[in-house]
Amino acid sequence: TQLLEQSPQFLSIQEGENLTVYCNSSSVFSSLQWYRQEPGEGPVLLVTVVTGGEVKKLKRLTFQFGDARKDSSLHITAAQPGDTGLYLCAEVQGAQKLVFGQGTRLTINP
Amino acid sequence: DADVTQTPRNRITKTGKRIMLECSQTKGHDRMYWYRQDPGLGLRLIYYSFDVKDINKGEISDGYSVSRQAQAKFSLSLESAIPNQTALYFCATSDHGLITGELFFGEGSRLTVL
Q: What is the DSSP letter of B52?
A: T
Give the pLDDT confidence of B48-96 residue by residue, as tens digits. 999 999 999 999 999 999 999 999 999 999 999 999 999 999 999 998 7
Question: Which chain B residues touch A88 with a CB distance below 8 Å?
Answer: 42-43
Residue A48: its chain B contacts at CB < 8 A?
99-100, 102
Query: Does the distance separating the beta carbons of B97 and A40 come in below 8 Å?
Result: no
CA pair distance B107, A63, nearest whole angstrom: 26
Write the pLDDT tens digit of every residue in A46-81.
999 999 999 999 999 999 999 999 999 999 999 999
Could you give the dihedral angle defined by the CA atoms of residues B56, B30, B76 and A101, in that order, rounded to the nearest 10 degrees? 70
From chain A, the residues in CB contact with B107 under 8 A are 40-42
